[in-house]
Amino acid sequence: MMMTLCSLTASAQQSAGDSVLHRTVGNRLSVGGYGEVAYSRQFYSDHVNRYSSPANYKDDPSHGQFDIPHAVIYLGYNFGKGWTFGTEIEFEHSGTGSAIENEADEAAEWEREQEKGGEVELEQFWINKRFSRAANLKFGHIIVPVGLNNAHHEPLNYFTVYRPEGEDKILPSTWHDTGISFWGRSGKFKYEAQLLAGLNAMLFNRDRWIHHGAGSPFEFKPANQYGVAARVDYFALPGLRIGISGYCGNAAHNTYPNDLKGDGKPYDNVKGTVAIGAVDVTLDRWNWIVRGQADYGYVGDTEKLNIIKDAKAHASNSPVKSAMIGKNAVCMGIEAGYDIFSQIKKLRRDEQKLYVFSRFEYYDSYIPEKNKDLFDYTNVHRIAFGINYHPVPQIVLKADWSQRLLKSPYNNEPSLNFGIAYEGFFL
């Protein structure tokens, strides 16, 4: 096989799952991935109490950080007769690590030290059976394509150095879970319907709404409850894609042990129903890229769920998140960038691009039935301006200035960010 780096579209027309799948069609083995390196200087306090006592941290010094948000390896294989396999292994924030040390100043005791933070995750691991272009079945661990970020989360599919904040604040990102998917393409439509393991309401919280709910602190994923997700994309014109997506499922009683239900317990009838609707659009035409999305979500029985969470979070080493959750969450955003190199013939012929862009977004991860004013820092408007330079189609250098605009008495949160990212296949 030829060792080449094949281009992936920067227009958010194809998702990571599609990329892995389509590369296996003509090759027995495919290898690719994407990755990002970022630096951020944040001109606001990073103190844990900056929202509970904002006046005390108004003049705190700035702070900086280097990060590797995502480093991903794609592997795919074509078995023939319509059977293909795909997997995505992701190292977030350069992975995680620990070590055992002999502490001389503590009577030569052996101690396990946490060396660094981060995560290693298996985001995709599936077998796909193709019956026709219009009918496919995928089994295993799959991307849940609810919202723009989850469907198109690779670094060439957004302008900012870090992934757009709104959907990342309220939804799992990247949302991946185990289940079955039916999907296909017909005419200008691509569609997908999924049956998945349910979310865990005990992992919801105020600052991130259901963000942590798809995970599991155990070696297995409890599946006492199930959810369904669906997405339809309409490729209306060349370069124009319009998508709608949604999710519905119960999230209570979906943990281990399942000790909330049975024998007439007071919370038997708590369902914690999660319902999410989202719409998004991408336009990549006339040297412009414009992306927009809007998401709205609902969680039922939040008053009872908050009582349960508060009681269970106090057990020793409990994985339950004690912070309250809101009945609703919302986010919306739009970004637009113009390729100024498109007006320079030599650079256009060389496939170099320089996008100048701006982004605006609004999100709120905590909209309760009452007492919202106590935690109004979750209501955020964010603006960003910057550039994306593509020396070749698969690599981008990014820079942006952004600011979170918070309601009084909270302090605004400006930052300056730089990054470099790639996306492509090697084999």
Count up the domains in the chain and report the number. Answer: 1
Helices (H), 215-276: none
Dist. CA 7–CA 155, nearest whole Å: 13
pLDDT band at 262 (very low <50, low <70, confident <90, very high): low
- CA–CA distance from 251 to each of 128, 199, 259, 292 (Å)? 28, 5, 14, 29
Residue 376, domain member (yes or no): yes
Least confident segment among 69-73, 142-146, 264-268:
264-268
Q: Which amino acid is at 358?
A: S
CATH code where residue 217 lies: 2.40.160.10
Classify residue 225 by its DSSP letter.
S
91 DSSP β-pair partners: 71, 120
Residue 11, domain member (yes or no): no
Dig out the tokens for 389 from the structure: 């330079």
Q: Which residue has the higher pLDDT, 264 or 125?
A: 125
Start-to-end CA distance of the chain, whole Å, equals 7
Residue 10, domain member (yes or no): no
Least confident segment among 236-245, 253-262, 389-398:
253-262
Residue 198, domain member (yes or no): yes
Q: Which amino acid is at 123?
A: E
pLDDT band at 325 (very low <50, low <70, confident <90, very high): very high
- When computed from its CA atoms, the radius of gyration of the chain, rounded to whole angstroms, is 23
Percent of the chain with pLDDT over 70: 87
Question: So what's the pLDDT on residue 26?
Answer: 63
Dist. CA 25–CA 359, nearest whole Å: 37
Numbers of helices and strands, H then E, in the chain: 5, 19
What domain range is 219 assigned to?
Answer: 16-96+114-425
21's enclosing H/E stretch is: helix 16-23
Residue-wise pLDDT for 41-60, tens only, equals 999 999 989 998 999 999 99
Residue 146, domain member (yes or no): yes
Residue 403, domain member (yes or no): yes
pLDDT band at 260 (very low <50, low <70, confident <90, very high): low
Dist. CA 226–CA 196, nearest whole Å: 6
Contact 61, 105 (CB under 8 A): no
- CA–CA distance from 21 to each of 75, 83, 87, 89, 186 (Å)? 10, 10, 10, 15, 17
Question: So what's the pLDDT on residue 4?
Answer: 37
Q: Which residues contact 122 (CB under 8 A, 6 or more apart)?
A: 87, 88, 89, 90, 141
**Statement: residue 426 has pLDDT above 80:** yes
Main-chain dihedrals φ then ψ at residue 188, nearest 5 degrees = -95, 10
As a three-state string, the secondary structure of 305-347 is HHHHHHHHCCCCCCCCCCCCCCCEEEEEEEEEEEEHHHHCHHH
Dist. CA 239–CA 156, nearest whole Å: 15
Residue-wise pLDDT for 62-100, tens only, equals 999 999 999 999 999 999 999 999 999 999 887 776 555
Averaged pLDDT score across all residues of the chain: 88
Which residue from 318, 363, 309 is spatially nearest to 171, judged by alpha carbons? 363
pLDDT band at 340 (very low <50, low <70, confident <90, very high): very high
Q: Which residues contact 160 (CB under 8 A, 6 or more apart)?
A: 335, 359, 384, 386, 398, 400, 402, 417
3-class state of residue 373 by DSSP? helix
Which residue from 127, 129, 124 is spatially nearest to 139, judged by alpha carbons? 127
Dist. CA 28–CA 177, nearest whole Å: 26
pLDDT band at 259 (very low <50, low <70, confident <90, very high): low
Residue 5, domain member (yes or no): no
pLDDT band at 310 (very low <50, low <70, confident <90, very high): confident
Residue 70, domain member (yes or no): yes
Question: So what's the pLDDT on residue 221?
Answer: 87
